[in-house]
Amino acid sequence: MNKLRALKEKRQQIINKSPSLKKILRSTISKYYLTCGYKKCWCHQGKKKHGPYIYLSAKEKGKLKMSFVPKELIKEVKRGVKNYNKLWDDLCEIARLNREILWLEKKKR
């Protein structure tokens, strides 16, 4: 197999396996432990606090936006963040392959 074909095939494989744009989330996942409003609660004794509560934080229009993540969404949120990172890696790799392909095609002309 020639190099150009191999590169194009590799590129196509990455495109095929790339996460859907509909399933990406850009965010940092943070865990918080908090005290509640009830002063007599055990959480005010200083040993343990309520939590963990999962928050997403991401910059939107220059401002840091925090969103509380309900328990039932944690799995999906984590997957979304993973997808975002994967897609970013894929973009870099595709851009690199595109350059190699362009150069090789130019040489052939």
Residues at the interface with Zn ion (CB under 5 A)? 36, 41, 43
Closest distance to Zn ion from the beta carbon of 68 (Å) = 17
Closest distance to Zn ion from the beta carbon of 38 (Å) = 5
Instruction: Write the DSSP string, 34-99.
Output: E--S-TTSGGGGSS--EEEEEEEEEEETTEEEEEE--GGGHHHHHHHHHHHHHHHHHHHHHHHHHH
Nearer Cβ to Zn ion, position 10 or 49?
Answer: 49
Closest distance to Zn ion from the beta carbon of 35 (Å) = 6
